[in-house]
Amino acid sequence: MGKQVITADDIIKRAASGTKTLDYNRADVIITPGALDKIEELGLSFSTAPEASGEACSAAVSQTGALPAASQHDAVTEQVCRILKDKLGSAGAAGLEAVVAGVVASRLSAGPDKVQIPDDSTVTGFGGVSLIRGSRVLDREPAGSFPGNVMISHALRLHDDSPLSATYMKWEKADFSRTVEAPEISILVQGGMDLIVDGKTLTAEAGDILYMDKGATVEYHSDTPVLLACVSA
Amino acid sequence: MDILEESIETCRKDPGTVVFPDCLDQRVLAAAARLKQEGIARPVLVQSPFAVRQKILASRQQLACFTVVDHTSGPVLAENIDAFMALRHEKGKPVTEEAAQKTMRCALAASAMMIRKGQVEVGVAGNLSSTAAVLRAGIGLIPKKQKTISSFFLMISPKADKAYILADCAVVPEPGPDVLADIAVASAEKAKNLLRQEPRVAMLSFSTKGSASHPRAAMVREAVEKVRKQAPDIRIDGELQLDAAVVPTVASMKAPGSIIRGEANVLVFPSLEAGNIGYKMLQRMAGYKALGPFLQGFDGGWHDLSRGCSSDDIFNVAVLGLCMQRGAAVTPSARQADLPLNENRRSA
């Protein structure tokens, strides 16, 4: 929820009801310059001290995030102007509102910063979210070209306490059989393969998702290069 | 820079390929990851890729991207069965397809087959498998340079200013004169391509030049004679006590006129118990670094680790195994190779 915006009309209503001291928690509301003028005009006062102007300034944009775009723009512009007027006094105030309005409009329309991922970086992440460049996870130069060789990426587990990890597996042409040791989900990124389970064949194509339960016995057959992304606990 | 560090640098310039059949082991994964990450070698793991992946996930470490060969995969197994049956046919000991399949489903045998085919340069095993199993796979599939398969350790002094080849410390329990001669010849070669020094081989005993009259001392003397006939270029002497082999002043008293003059760099023990005790004494009581054991006698790099080995041991055996296989442990200029004997004496 964004902060409540207190306008001149709100002040008039409170004054009409006989209020002399305004009980707004000033950290939780935005009071427009018009409202401040009306408060002074009507001789009202606040029960709490105003919050520091620097904090108000830095928080102005984010605190109004829940408002509709037009209201958000007006509210932020008013608040920034008020803070600047307080700091600058009358000097330099001319045209200030137009400048601030332009800056606020520009900032609000810019959207989130785009993160540039360096060319040599495999993992980029912050705020609990990581992006792993798939093209960097697997070797470009395999150890050799042996019949049936499979390349396994290192385990993609970015946090020690994460219950999940992922690997890529890549092979040219191979047949395997296995008994699944732990439940896993695989996504066939490239290629195609047949899976023989309980005597029946499932044909998987690129983009298909496979779930394998613990204890399942599976035979893999592929005549084409395969890239599989596997996620398991 | 000691021999190991120099060997690492040599490998880094031209990384080789090492196969690990006993790879479902965190120690191997760590060693293989280091070989790869430091650009020293390209490891190949022979096992089910899904089993290897499970080990990687269980390690909870950021391990390198690995190449895995599933030796039980249909096409690989079929090719290995055919090759093994053909090999046994050539040897005059044919086997059935069923027996060949049983053999080639073993990761050790499949890895040895990769060495035989030249797909990889060196194989390192034994961290999980028994020495007998490692030797059996090697003897069955890898061509031999000589009749005897034995082993040696490279021992490096704490200050890295002295190095010795010690044999046999791990494989042959009671060598006779023929086998002891084979061990001496193979070990001498290691001084050339690992220490980059002219070999000076001491055949050890509890007796020096007939100081004791005993069949065991006589056996060592007989082995020395056999080496002199087989490989007259090798500088070898015996039987010698250890002090007469490595201390010039003692040698001048006990074995005056000895061709190695108390400056042996290859020590051949008369039995496995002596060799095994000897290398452990140097390692545990004198602080020497023990690198090995390395198998010798195969015409291909095939090495057996102790099951108590560390990940560093596995790494070291892979690096030195690669260098030995190429016959160049270090760059020739990097070592004080082939110094005249009097100069070697000062550093010994």
- If you ran DSSP here, which 8-state letter would residue B144 be given? B
Where residue A13 falls among pLDDT bands split at 50, 70, 90?
confident
Using the Cβ of B115 and the Cβ atoms of chain A, whether some distance falls under 8 Å is answered with no
- How far, in Å, CA of A131 to CA of B304, rounded? 42
| Residue B262 half-sphere exposure toward CB, CA atoms < 13 A | 17
Sequential DSSP letters for B253-268 = HHSTT-TTTT--SEEE
At residue B69, φ and ψ (nearest 5 deg) are -115, 120
Query: Under a CB-based contact definition with an 8 Å cutoff, are residues A73 and A108 in contact?
Result: yes
Residue B101 three-state SS: helix
Length of chain A as a residue count: 233
Q: What is the pTM of this model?
A: 0.72
A176 contacts B50? CB cut-off 8 A: yes
Spatial distance between the Cα atoms of B176 and B180, rounded to a whole number of angstroms: 6
Q: Would you say B67 and A151 are in contact if contact means Cβ atoms under 8 Å apart? A: yes
Mean pLDDT of all residues belonging to chain B: 89
Checking ipTM against 0.85, whether it exceeds it is no
What's the pLDDT score for residue A163?
75
Question: ∠ CA(A90), CA(A96), CA(A101), 5° rounding?
Answer: 150
Structure-model confidence comparison of residues A37 and B222, the more confident one? B222
pLDDT digits (tens, 9 = 90+) for A181-227: 888 899 999 999 999 999 999 999 999 999 999 999 999 999 888 99
Question: What is the model's pLDDT at position A99?
Answer: 77
- C-beta neighbour count of A71 within 10 angstroms: 13
Confidence band (pLDDT; 50, 70, 90) for B199? very high
Do A143 and B76 make contact, defined as CB atoms within 8 angstroms?
Answer: no
Q: Which helix (H) or strand (E) holds A223?
A: none
Best mutation target, A138, A139, A150, to test chain B (most B CBs within 10 A): A150
Query: Nearest to residue A177, comparing CAs of B181, B105, B288, B206?
Result: B105
d(C-alpha B8, C-alpha B329), whole Å: 9
Is the distance from CB of A101 to CB of A73 less than 8 angstroms? yes
Give Dmax over CA atoms of chain B in angstroms.
Answer: 67
Q: What is the spatial distance between Cα A65 and Cα A58, in angstroms, rounded to a whole number?
A: 13
pLDDT at position B210 over 80? yes
Segment A75-119, tens digit of pLDDT: 777 887 777 777 666 656 667 777 777 777 777 777 666 766 666
**Residues A230, A184: contact at Cβ < 8 Å?**
yes
By the CB < 8 Å criterion, does B69 face chain A? yes
Question: Are residues A151 and B59, on separate chains, in Cβ contact within 8 Å?
Answer: no
Give B305-340 pLDDT, tens digit per residue.
988 899 999 999 999 999 888 874 443 333 333 333
pLDDT digits (tens, 9 = 90+) for A40-83: 888 888 877 655 444 444 444 445 445 566 677 777 778 877 77
DSSP for A14-82?
A: HHHTT-SEE---TTTEEE-HHHHHHHHHHT-EESSPPPPHHHHHHHHHHHTTTS-HHHHHHHHHHHHHH
- Find which of B46, B57, B121 to mutate to test the A interface (most A CBs within 10 Å of its CB): B57
